[in-house]
Amino acid sequence: MNFQGREMGRLDGKVAMITGAGSGMGREATHAFVREGARVVAVDVNPTAVHETVASLQGQALAATADVTREADVAVCVKTAVDHFGKLDVLYNNAGIFDEADESVLTTTDAIWDRTMAINVKGLAFCCKHGIPELIRAGGGSVINIASFVALVGCTVPQDAYTASKGAVIALTKSLAVQFGPKGIRSNAICPGPIETPLMRDLLKDENKKRVRLNRIPMGRFGHADDVVSLAIYLASDESSWTNGAALVVDGGITSNYF
């Protein structure tokens, strides 16, 4: 990738930390943020995957291996961002899981509940705990939390641990928006519909499950990672300077579909 002589990007001068950057939306976000001029600390629990993410980015992105459920790991990643790039402007809390055995509250196991909430909620909270003070030191910034459309509507194919975790993400985002807005920190949640990531493709190997979900989307297709990342770029940029506490839906219309 050639960064010489390029036009100014929407994120020029900004430093971002992106979790779950080893694949899917996190990998797409890392590349898109760099294209827009940001420098990125790309974080993932899989060291091979995250190093592959940054391999072509010519020093504009740095790979960091961490388990977001371990507070000490998160603290090191934030410190790495500041030590290497001098500051932190954007937290993109993308890391999350959905266990294919996550079903109804009647059947979902304790282990699935604990792992889902630990990664999707507590891990995000740790990133905010250690990252937001650095955003404040930088003079303000943006927290972008990935929630889900399932936090906004009920589902006849339940995934209750995941749904509850993403509802918690929206609630926490609004609390952050009120707490830290006066300090120049914008906190917003993105609520994607079904996105074609490796995780989703594995889930929808069952053609019946795939058809049921696809039939609910008025646009007639699953989302792509860049559908979400494009919104994240807006939220990371100064264009969103008065967007705070929002839960922004990117779902092809699925949450508007009554039948």
Give 257's contacts (C-beta < 8 A, 6+ positions apart).
216, 217, 218
The token pair at 120 is 């999707």
Q: How far is CA 200 from CA 97, 151, 240, 245, 249, in A?
A: 11, 17, 29, 27, 18
The token pair at 214 is 């696809």
Helix (H, G, I), strand (E, B) or coil at 109: coil
Q: Is 162 a catalytic residue?
A: yes
Give residue 232's identity as a one-letter amino acid code: A
For 142-207, the DSSP string reads EEEEE--GGGTS--SS--HHHHHHHHHHHHHHHHHHHHHGGGTEEEEEEEE-SB-SHHHHHHTTSH
Which residue shows structure tokens 């993109």?
92
Which residue of the set 92, 162, 234, 258 is catalytic?
Answer: 162
CA distance 189 to 80: 25
CA distance 82 to 47: 20
Give residue 196's identity as a one-letter amino acid code: E
Which residues are identified as catalytic? 162
